[in-house]
């Protein structure tokens, strides 16, 4: 199918802005718990009325500091309650939020602050402030820097004590759906980040249709714990959706505490990128193997997948249902308990999840709803829904959204969530936006007869072998990363006679494998070890099952170290920077073909 559209099913507000939700919540349900905030020792509830009061106090401080309507305010912090509080306070003051990843370097921070013309920065701690201070001399428009850990909320609240309610309300109501709400800079796998112009209306459209379609997630008793960075649009729309629907929201800043936080908070749904789901599965598999229960876990996983596949056909077989009931008590219950015991749904985005992994989680009782979108589209364009799901796809276009497949296979989308362009960059905007509103995603895919979209690769990442075969590396890479021992991989072969791969080993899984196989030494010591190579070879053979012989991986190299965000090979959303990896490992790639 070349084009598919889903009709709009709700009325999108033509007036107002995102702050209206906070005001309405406090007026209509002042005592309803809007947030559970971790104080370091316990979770403390924040009601709708209390949240409004805090937001207003901080917003008055921003006004008192001299910030004008439309001014940009940068926010650099881990995922925490204050992030959400400051985001809404910035909007209440009539200003624009510019999120910055808390892992960003001084150079990256300087670029975003300079390009956006930020007038103020709220940073999390002294380390973030130091990075801003390092480059402040080149930022002529930057007037203020506050620190969350140095009482920024209290300082701003005190500063704004003399600002009247009337002045604040005038500021709060200035923005319309057409006005800029945030500049989100693409983390970018190549080149400098570009600022995506996202309006209040983009968010109102996106969340209006998404919340309506995902009403089973946002029900009366719903809650979620955010642990992805709020600088990413994926987490941001969940934040706004929770405020819009009065869904209890919590924040978890440190991945090391995530399991404890999940068990204490007990969310009914979570959102994560595929790498998180892969790590949960691989960790459980490795732990079972270390405890001598590896074969039991493997069988439980196969039964979960078979059970889920059976649901697609109407009903699993009697034998599968019987085994599923047994493993539900022995294995699946423990995995559900790790997520807090109340989690029914998970939202996955940012990269392809993989059909097998989706079936596994659904089989153990957690429905993973995979969707697709970009920063430029205010996150979701398509989504699998609880009552309309097809594994291996990213779902149908959301209401009011249309998809088109170009002649070269690129996916184009049009809808109210699509941005208007890049900040102060008409040339870059012209490259992706057509005059009639169609946005070029850069992703290659297909649409089936029912409107379900399948992503097959990145347009710029398609490998063309010397024999003229077009290969989408994502298919192989996603399958290979699903193996417990594999952390990352890069498929190569452009202009070469065959496909090959660079592979890195998971540092958490490796010690368990080494102990089970009687090995001593580090990953770097064992990259040529026959048993380690045999284990990776098995993973490669499994990945090759997903493609034709001409597309399969013929050779691979195990690298001594992993690729990380800190090392510069991964983006903050854990996407591989292919150009960086190719540049750093040019010699290893050449050796594969020598």
Question: Are 510 and 447 a contacting pair, CB within 8 Å?
Answer: no
Q: Which residues of 115-134 are buried (b: 16+ CB within 10 A; e: fewer)?
A: bbbbbbbbbbeeebbebbee
- Residue intervals of the chain classified under CATH 3.40.50.12780 are 17-396
- pLDDT tens for the chain, 594 residues: list them: 689 999 999 999 999 999 999 999 999 999 999 999 999 889 999 999 999 999 999 999 999 999 999 999 999 999 999 999 999 999 999 999 999 999 888 988 999 999 999 999 999 999 999 999 999 999 999 999 999 999 999 999 999 999 999 999 999 999 999 999 999 998 655 568 899 999 999 999 999 999 999 999 998 899 999 999 999 999 999 999 999 999 999 999 887 888 899 999 999 999 988 878 888 888 888 888 888 888 999 999 999 999 999 998 889 999 999 999 999 998 999 889 888 999 999 999 877 787 888 999 999 999 999 999 999 999 999 999 988 999 889 999 999 999 999 999 999 999 999 999 999 999 999 999 998 999 999 999 999 999 999 998 888 787 878 777 778 888 889 889 888 899 999 999 988 889 999 999 999 889 989 988 999 999 999 999 999 999 999 999 999 887 878 789 999 999 999 999 889 898 877 788 888 898 899 899 999 998
**In the structure encoding, which two tokens stand for residue 433, read together?**
């936006």
User: CA separation (Å) from 554 to 260, 461, 482, 510?
Assistant: 42, 19, 19, 24
**Cβ-contact 46, 20 below 8 angstroms:** no
Q: How far apart are CA 226 and CA 239, in angstroms?
A: 8
- The angle, 0 to 180 degrees and rounded to 10, between the axes of the packed helices 233-245 and 81-92 is 80
Answer yes or no: pTM beyond 0.75.
Answer: yes
Superfamily of domain 17-396: ANL, N-terminal domain (3.40.50.12780)
Extract the tokens encoding 128. 């973030």
Residue range(s) of every CATH 3.30.300.30 domain in the chain: 462-592
Nearest to 350 by CA among 190, 230, 234: 234
Cα end-to-end distance, the chain, whole Å = 42
pLDDT digits (tens, 9 = 90+) for 237-290: 999 999 999 999 999 988 788 889 999 999 999 998 887 888 888 888 888 888
Q: Which residues pair with 3 in a beta bridge?
A: 404
Q: Which CATH class is domain 462-592?
A: alpha beta
pLDDT tens-place string over residues 557-576: 999 999 998 898 988 777 88
């Amino acid at each position: 199918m070349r084009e598919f559209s889903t009709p709009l099913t709700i009325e999108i507000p033509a007036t107002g802005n995102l702050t209206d939700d906070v005001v309405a919540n406090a007026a209509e349900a002042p005592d309803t718990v809007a947030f559970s905030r971790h104080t370091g020792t316990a979770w403390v509830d924040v009601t709708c009325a209390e949240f409004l009061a805090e937001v207003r106090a901080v917003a008055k401080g921003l006004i008192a500091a001299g910030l004008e309507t439309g001014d940009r305010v940068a926010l650099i912090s881990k995922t925490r309650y204050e992030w959400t509080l400051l985001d809404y306070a910035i909007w209440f003051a009539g200003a624009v939020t510019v999120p910055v990843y808390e892992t960003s370097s001084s150079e990256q921070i300087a670029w975003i602050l300079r390009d956006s013309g930020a007038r103020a920065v709220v940073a999390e701690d002294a380390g973030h402030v130091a990075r801003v201070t390092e480059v402040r001399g080149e930022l002529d428009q930057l007037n203020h820097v506050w620190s969350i850990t140095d009482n920024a909320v209290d300082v701003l609240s005190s500063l704004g004590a003399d600002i009247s309610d009337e002045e604040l309300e005038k500021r709060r109501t200035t923005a319309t759906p057409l006005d800029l709400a945030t500049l989100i800079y693409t983390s970018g796998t190549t080149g400098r980040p570009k600022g995506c112009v996202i309006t209040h209306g983009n968010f109102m459209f996106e969340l209006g249709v998404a919340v309506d379609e995902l009403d089973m997630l946002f029900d009366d008793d719903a809650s979620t714990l955010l642990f992805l960075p709020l600088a990413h649009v994926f987490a941001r729309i969940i934040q706004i959706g929770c405020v819009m629907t009065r869904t209890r929201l919590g924040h978890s800043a440190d991945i090391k505490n995530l399991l404890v936080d999940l068990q204490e908070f007990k969310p009914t749904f979570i959102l994560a990128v595929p790498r998180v789901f892969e790590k949960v599965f691989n960790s459980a598999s490795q732990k079972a193997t270390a405890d001598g229960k590896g074969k039991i876990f493997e069988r439980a996983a196969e039964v979960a997948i078979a059970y889920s596949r059976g649901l697609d056909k109407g009903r699993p077989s009697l034998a599968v249902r019987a085994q599923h009931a047994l493993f539900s008590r022995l294995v699946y219950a423990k995995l559900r308990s790790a997520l807090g015991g109340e989690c029914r749904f998970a939202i996955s985005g940012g990269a392809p999840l993989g059909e097998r992994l989706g079936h596994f989680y659904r089989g153990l009782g957690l429905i993973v709803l995979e969707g697709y979108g970009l920063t430029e589209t205010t996150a979701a364009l398509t989504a699998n829904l609880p009552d309309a799901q097809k594994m291996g796809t990213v779902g149908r276009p959301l209401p009011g959204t249309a998809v088109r497949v170009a002649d070269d296979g690129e996916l184009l989308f049009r809808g109210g969530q699509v941005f208007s362009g890049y900040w102060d960059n008409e040339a870059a905007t012209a490259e992706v936006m057509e005059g009639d509103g169609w946005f070029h995603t850069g992703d290659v895919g297909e649409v089936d007869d029912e409107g379900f979209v399948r992503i097959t690769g990145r347009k710029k990442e398609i490998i063309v072998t010397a024999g003229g075969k077009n290969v989408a590396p994502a298919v192989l890479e996603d399958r290979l990363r699903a193996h417990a021992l594999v952390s990352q991989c890069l498929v190569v072969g452009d202009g070469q006679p065959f496909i090959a791969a660079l592979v890195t080993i998971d540092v958490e899984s490796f010690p368990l494998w080494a102990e089970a196989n009687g090995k001593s030494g580090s990953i770097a010591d064992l990259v040529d070890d026959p048993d380690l190579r045999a284990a990776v070879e098995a993973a490669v053979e499994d990945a090759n099952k997903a493609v034709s012989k001409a597309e399969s991986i013929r050779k691979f190299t195990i690298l001594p170290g992993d690729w990380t965000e800190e090392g510069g090979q991964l983006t903050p959303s854990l996407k591989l920077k292919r150009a960086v990896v190719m540049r750093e490992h040019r010699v290893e790639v050449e050796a594969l073909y020598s």
